[in-house]
Structure 1
């Protein structure tokens, strides 16, 4: 039996923190599907810089990812229903409420576990593990 895992996020300006999250998510099962948020669904932080298709394609290029898809424009649970995962892996710092996700999964009859991936500390001086920090650094050094 194959264990299917879903990870999800914005993945704007892919960085080592994203790679850590996706590698850890992949280790939770046999197949990793990644749902890349559409710009219109990103309302908890600044809108992504890169378009959805670009972000999806870059995520799909990672060895640990079996398939990357764009999220649904109106209902973020539609791709989850279509993929029917065994595990949903949330990033360590994602804003999602685990209990609310579990309740919605149960309401929709989706039987899967929800786990949080661990974070990771920078491995060397000046390593940036946040898109926001990368953008801030670019603005600081280029403007």
Structure 2
């Protein structure tokens, strides 16, 4: 049985998230998703929705076997607990793959790191980014 882990912020779920998680699920038999805590999101604007809400929405997706909250102090703790065979990074996630691989090795975790593909909008006004959704809301509802 191949256990796959995907991770991210997942603030305001959109088709890009669904694509990422569907691809991740196709890479194994079980998909676990780690939802980032607000304090660990430092590469973009903080999430609008609470961590628990984001986890619950991600967990409701059919392709997800279980969604869990990330660890507040050490992002590798859930990885140690889940012992995945594969970690799937989103196409636009800005992670240092070599640093991740080194930390996995340091912790004695034998895990492959893969990347999901990106997805282009399928129609003119499809939004594949939380930032774009927020911008549209502000533009239309100010």
Q: TM-score, normalised by structure 2?
A: 0.99
Partner of 1:98: 97
Question: What's the secondary structure of 2:11's corresponding residue?
Answer: coil
Tell me whether 1:43 sits opposite 2:42 in the alignment: yes
Partners of 1:91 and 1:53 lie apart in 2 by: 21
Distance 2:18 2:102 in 1: 28
TM-score (norm 1): 0.99
Aligned counterparts, 1:113-124, within 5 A = 113-124=112-123
Alignment pair present for 1:21 and 2:36 = no
Partners of 1:100 and 1:30 in 2: how far apart?
A: 26
What is the distance in 2 between the residues matched to 1:75 and 1:17?
Answer: 26
Cα-Cα RMSD: 0.4
CA distance in 2 between counterparts of 1:127 and 1:102 reads 35
Unmatched runs of 5 consecutive residues or more in structure 1: none
Structure 2 gaps, min length 5: none
Total equivalences in the alignment: 142
Does the residue aligned with 1:50 lie in a helix, a strand or coil? coil
Q: Which whole-Å CA distance do the structure 1 matches of 2:84 and 2:110 have between them? A: 8
Distance across 1 between alignment mates of 2:96 and 2:28: 22
- What is the Cα deviation at residue 125 of structure 1? 1.1
Report matched runs for 1:1-143 at 5 Å: 2-143=1-142
SS of equivalent residue, structure 1 residue 25: helix
Give SS of 2:21's match: helix
Residue 102 of structure 1: how far off its partner (Å): 0.6
Q: What's the CA shift for 1:136? A: 0.5
Report the alpha carbon displacement of residue 99 of structure 1 after superposing the two structures with TM.
1.0
